[in-house]
Amino acid sequence: MTGKPTPEERIARLEQMLGPLEDPANPTGQEALLDADARSEVLPALEKVLDACTWNAELVPEELGGRLSRMDVLGRVLRPVFRRDASAGFGYGLNCFFAAAPVFSRGSDEQRTAVARILLDGGRVALVRQELAHGNNLLRGELTMTPRDAAAGGGYLLTGSKSVVVNASRADGLVVFARMAGDEQRRYSMLLLDRRHLPPGRLVPLARQTTSGMPGAEFGGVRAQDCPVPESALVGQPGDGYELSLRSSLVVRGLIPSVLLSAADTALRTVARCALRPRHGRSMLDVRHSRAVLAGAFLDLLMSDCLALVATRALHLLPGQSSAVAAAAAYVAPKILAESMDALAAVLGERSFAEEGDYRMFRKQVRDMPVTSLGHAGSAGRQVTLLPQLPFFARNSWFADAEAPAALFRPHEGLPPLDLVEPALLADADPLAATLVAGTDALEADPAGPATLRFLARAHTAELAELREAFRAVPPGDRRALADPHCFSLADRYALLLAGAACLGVWRAARDGAGGFLADPAWPTAALYRLGRRLGLALPDRPAEAEERMLSELLSRTTAPRSYDLYATDLARWES
């Protein structure tokens, strides 16, 4: 390998260093991971591999000495770790990026450099979140900051406690959302603290919490006892905390489907391998329902990756229109993948409770997925991001905007430089919905094209037209109407339509470009049919041939082995 390694080379190197998951002799394999999980630990051998790869450099922008230049690549680099252990992927990587993102986007040069240095030196950065009215245990409790007189040293005094902070005791850097004492608007500010430079005894760790999901991750806590922090710790301006939180969420939301689908990859692979091993003379593949569940789960991974692709690439190509795409991606993927995991568990039956390694691994992955996506609080936040934008889209964008550029849907095509400041909180257009309309028009104009896909695209576009009428009826600025449960259900439907639009866009880009599996109309046909069932649309007969094509591709990638996403990446092979 000469010169700077490509993303594909970095991903391949990490995958090979981690080794085959199913190899019992592999120090970072399934058996070792499960033993560490039973002890509520992250496997030390896994962290050693990540240290050797300087994996933290993937989280740091190139201009600060790291390797981060493309958000879609960051999502892919996280996958080999989440495919094995969410506790390691979340604690070592993703949560550090959650904490660092607002500093990288809005911090001073000194603050950005300080966070980059911590990560590049192999350290951790932790996020101390604000409290939400409807949050879970991860979001309860908060810290308060009080200005100090110049005579007392200036800066702020920090008080309060947060009972659950990921990496609470391991992190050198803390990014703290603190409520401003005495502020009538109850605003938050953001502070960047280096705990190594704080007075002893003023910021103390709290006991580690026991969690049912991701037990290996350290969910500790912190208590601030009149902890003095300098004025230079303030990120942005006083009261900017909420906006900084919203803006950083635009950047990180596209990573949620990326890491979830890699955890689901391992769970699905467990069931697919089981299907390839006959039991008592019968195979799971002899049962039509089991075949449909396997094919459907594979489709849900592909759909999730389409959403991950457009959400991350939109940050580069369409930063002014990326907020709705990112929220929809982070909202839909956890829901459809959870449904798939439930269906796979039902197919496994009593074996899903077995103690053999494969089945324990299945349970571990399924158990950890809701924690990775932040559960209900994360889901509600994404809906709230979507809802205020939909009446605007209905009046100004749907059936009027130009479609998204083809580059949005091409996984291997280059991208403009990443600017973490550019993404807008509210989109001024909806190019992904326009892609659904344009894709339908293109199919309608090609009578020789795939007829079932044409019908399904038309049905999805008709649903968008119905949503347009529903949201046009919402009075401009009427927040009470948007809080109605009916509007939330309409937002659900819109998010599913964007998933279909993303699939259609990826298929059209592949058909006009590199070809291969992604250019086959079978997968978008099966995907739009599956989404149409979730939407309750009037549908044609089940596309059995397309679904069988999905099952064939799934089994091929199981034996190869290759990943179940858009990239079909080679995985470490065990020669038993």
- Average pLDDT (527-550) is 97
398 with 468: CB under 8 angstroms? yes
The pLDDT value given to residue 1: 45
Strand partners, 156: 147, 229
pLDDT reported for residue 199: 94
Least confident residue range of 129-133, 329-333, 377-381: 129-133
- Per-residue pLDDT, averaged over 173-177, amounts to 96
Q: What is the chain's mean pLDDT, rounded?
A: 94
CA dist., res. 96 & res. 81, Å (int): 14
Share of the chain above pLDDT 70, in %: 97
**Contact present, 453 and 416 (Cβ < 8 Å):** no
**Placement of tokens 């962290």 in the chain:** 47
On the CB side of 471, CA atoms within 13 Å amount to 28
Name the band, by pLDDT with cuts 50, 70 and 90, for residue 102.
very high
Residue 131 predicted with pLDDT over 80: no
pLDDT at 352: 77
Output 568 or 279, whichever has higher pLDDT. 568
Residues 47 and 56 sit within 8 Å (Cβ to Cβ) = no
* Tokens of residue 537, six digits: 């649309």
pLDDT at site 367: 95
Rounded to whole angstroms, the Cα distance separating 420 from 425 reads 12
Mean pLDDT of 297-304: 99
Q: Tell me which of 513 and 463 has the higher pLDDT.
A: 463
The answer, yes or no, to whether residue 135 has pLDDT greater than 60, is no
Q: What is the pLDDT of residue 405?
A: 98
Question: In this predicted structure, what is the pLDDT of residue 376?
Answer: 45
Cβ atoms within 10 Å of 561's Cβ, excluding its own? 20
Query: How many other CB atoms sit within 10 Å of the CB of residue 245?
Result: 18
Name every residue whose Cβ is closer than 8 Å to that of residue 150 and which is 6 or more positions away in sequence.
none
Indicate if the pLDDT at residue 375 is higher than 60.
no
pTM: 0.96
Q: What is the pLDDT of residue 481?
A: 80
Instruction: Report pLDDT for 184.
Output: 75
Using a 10 angstrom Cβ sphere, with 0-12 exposed, 13-18 middle and 19 or more buried, the burial of residue 470 is: middle
Task: Indicate the pLDDT class of residue 377, thresholds 50, 70 and 90.
Answer: low
Asked if residue 125 has pLDDT above 70, the reply is yes
pLDDT of residue 544: 96
- For β-strands 173-180 and 142-147, DSSP reports them as parallel
- CB of 171 within 8 A of CB of 123? yes
Is there a cis peptide before residue 561, judged by omega within 30 degrees of 0?
yes
Give the residue with greater pLDDT, 290 vs 476. 290
pLDDT for position 4: 87
pLDDT of residue 210: 86
With 70 as the cut, is the pLDDT of residue 182 above it? yes
pLDDT greater than 70 at residue 140: no
- Tell me the helix, strand and coil percentages in the chain, rounded to 5: 60, 10, 30
Model pLDDT, residue 170: 93
How is residue 227 written in tokens? Answer: 């902890």
Give the model confidence (pLDDT) of 425-481 as tens digits.
999 999 999 999 999 999 999 999 999 999 999 999 999 999 999 999 998 888 888
Q: Is the pLDDT of residue 422 over 60?
A: yes
Q: What is the pLDDT of residue 538?
A: 96
pLDDT digits (tens, 9 = 90+) for 220-249: 999 999 999 999 999 999 999 999 998 999
Query: What is the average pLDDT across 481-507?
Result: 95
What is the per-residue pLDDT for 138? 55
Domains of the chain listed by start with CATH number: 7-123 (1.10.540.10), 126-237 (2.40.110.10), 253-559 (1.20.140.10)
Q: Return the structure tokens found at 206.
A: 């709290």
| pLDDT value for 224 | 96
* pLDDT over 80 (residue 139): no
* 44 in Cβ contact with 6 (< 8 Å): no
% of the chain exceeding 90 in pLDDT:
84
Report residue 100: phi and psi, to 5°: -80, -30
Q: Read off the pLDDT of residues 351-370 as tens digits, 9 standing for 90 and up.
A: 877 777 789 999 999 999 99
